[in-house]
Amino acid sequence: MAVVSTPLVRGGWWRRPVGLRALVVVSVITLLAWLLFIVGATWWVRANVQARVQLRDQSLLMRLPQGMETNVDVRSRVMTRLQADPMLAVPVHQTMRVRLPDTLEARTVVRTVVPVQTQFQYKTEIPVDTLVSMDVPVVSWLPAMAIQLPIRVTVPVDITVPISVQLPLALDLRAKGHVTEPLKVPMHTTMRMRVPLRADIEAEVLSRTHSRLLGPMEPFPIQIDQALLTLPLGNLSWIRQARDPAVGASRPGP
């Protein structure tokens, strides 16, 4: 086995001898790295690069395979006019705060019984001024003598009378006043209203259709005036199979 050696040069650097085995290993590693790079680049190109083909004035014959299933989404725009007067029932359950700024006037009748327990005290002096007529016998054998005596006296009167009664009362009262604080009024009701609806409605209707071809179908011609085909390289096969003579272009494009 030949050995390549480099002599030691003054002022240079020393190199170890390189054998054939080392050269083979380095070559194999370099070749594998290059192959991995080529494979990775090819995979990236097939996964990310797309081929675009522009077709003009192409006549084709197309035949659909038996059992082919299709899903078609048809979008259509619909415009209409809404005119309706629906009757709505709206339940209302809430508490309202009401402020009364005006003067309130009210009239009421009060019927009640008032017990009264008290003492009536009467204290006075009653003057008495009168003449008293009397017959005074002087001698038994003489007739009685009629005389008149004037009497003037003052009679003191001090009376305490206890009173215990039940007084029935029927009063017709008129009241007037202001309410300063807002009143909280609970409201529980159902409001029925008719709401007029007038509007222009524009909607997009999506219709989905699923179909399946049950029987064989004869080839039919189609004309492509202009089209741009996008072909991902990942969907192309390396081996080109034989083309069905019933399907294909009848006239090559320019």
pLDDT of residue 71: 85
Using a cut of 0.75, tell me whether the model's pTM lies above it. no
Contact 199, 83 (CB under 8 A): no
Cα-to-chain-centroid distance, residue 193: 22
Q: pLDDT by residue (tens digit) across 56-109?
A: 888 888 888 888 888 888 888 888 888 888 888 989 888 888 887 777 777 878
- Which of 158, 169, 155 minimizes the C-alpha distance to 120? 158
Q: pLDDT by residue (tens digit) across 198-252?
A: 888 888 888 888 888 887 788 888 888 888 877 777 666 654 444 444 444 334 3
CA distance 17 to 41: 36
Contact 234, 46 (CB under 8 A): yes
Q: Left if phi > 0, otherwise alpha if psi is -120 to 50, otherwise beta: which for 128?
A: beta
Contact 92, 189 (CB under 8 A): yes
- Which of 97, 90, 56 minimizes the C-alpha distance to 254? 56
